[in-house]
Amino acid sequence: MSLGHHFGVVISRMPHMTYVRTVLASKDCRFLCSACYANCWGVQRRHGETVWLCSRCTDLKDNGLEPGPRLFNTQPSRQLRVGEQLRSPKGVWTVTSSERVKTPEDGIPQEACMYVLTRDNGHKEEWRGRDMADFHLIPNAFEHITGERCAELGSALTAAGLLWEDNGRQDTPRRLKYTATYPRGRQWSIRPVPPLDFDPWQPSNLWRAVCAAPRDQSPVMTARALADYIRELPA
Ligand SMILES: [Zn+2]
């Protein structure tokens, strides 16, 4: 369907999703996500929904999370525990002390959480909990890798026509490894993304593939995107 000289719109209807994207789009031809208001080249609408969402918001919704703008404050509402790790734009930090203190503020006593954080290079800083908007808690286990996620990867690899096997360690995702090959293609090892690299704002981006020869590494991707990535790279 052509809507003018500079761009056209492709509408794809799938059983559970309608997807719209622009082709040959000019700079000012973008869609707007109704949840996070990001400009994007494509928006999606789930079956039974009335709103059009960007792919990140669709992913959040698919994972039972609330779609919306990316917030930087990902602190849990509870007090942080000693030994927990956080990521900030400046690096990875470990909580080395965690205290609840009473601080007078405008003469009124307030309860606050005070933390000492130690960066991976040994540098220490003291922070008050509510000022830590740029710190993001790193989950300390592979909780993001579930049996359902493994099944999803398996069916994506099969659907893409790849030959694959796993090492049977679904019970210990840290040791989980898949091997996948496209006929006459390269052999790839696929592993779950470790907690440090897991982005809670892109909850389906869980897998990374590594190829030994030629040495290559994929970005962290969703199961389906990764299967396509492996299939499309030449041998
Ligand atoms: Zn969005």
Distance CA 26, CA 5 (A): 10
> Ligand 1 center to residue 101 CA distance, Å?
38
> Ligand 1 center to residue 72 CA distance, Å?
15
> Ligand 1 center to residue 39 CA distance, Å?
8
> Ligand 1 center to residue 59 CA distance, Å?
9
Instruction: List, in sequence order, the alpha helices (H) in the chain.
Output: 55-62, 147-159, 223-232
pLDDT in tens, the chain (235 residues): 444 456 778 888 888 888 888 776 556 667 889 998 888 888 999 888 889 999 889 888 888 888 888 765 556 667 888 999 998 888 899 999 999 888 777 777 778 889 999 998 999 999 988 888 888 888 777 888 989 999 999 999 999 999 999 999 988 999 999 999 988 888 999 999 988 788 777 888 999 999 988 899 999 999 999 999 999 887 6
Q: What is the pTM of this model?
A: 0.63
> Ligand 1 center to residue 53 CA distance, Å?
5
Distance CA 146, CA 141 (A): 12
**Ranges of each domain in the chain:** 8-62, 85-138, 147-232
> Ligand 1 center to residue 69 CA distance, Å?
7
> Ligand 1 center to residue 37 CA distance, Å?
6
HSE-CB at 200 with a 13 A cutoff on CA atoms is 19
Dihedral class, residue 176 (left if φ above 0, else alpha if ψ from -120 to 50, else beta): beta
> Ligand 1 center to residue 93 CA distance, Å?
29
> Ligand 1 center to residue 33 CA distance, Å?
5
Rg (CA), the chain: 22
What is the model's pLDDT at position 153?
Answer: 96
> Ligand 1 center to residue 32 CA distance, Å?
8
> Ligand 1 center to residue 48 CA distance, Å?
18
Q: Could you tell me the CA-to-CA distances from 193 to 98, 106, 130 in Å, in that order?
A: 28, 46, 29
> Ligand 1 center to residue 61 CA distance, Å?
10
Q: Could you tell me the CA-to-CA distances from 93 to 76, 136, 138, 140 in Å, in that order?
A: 16, 10, 10, 13
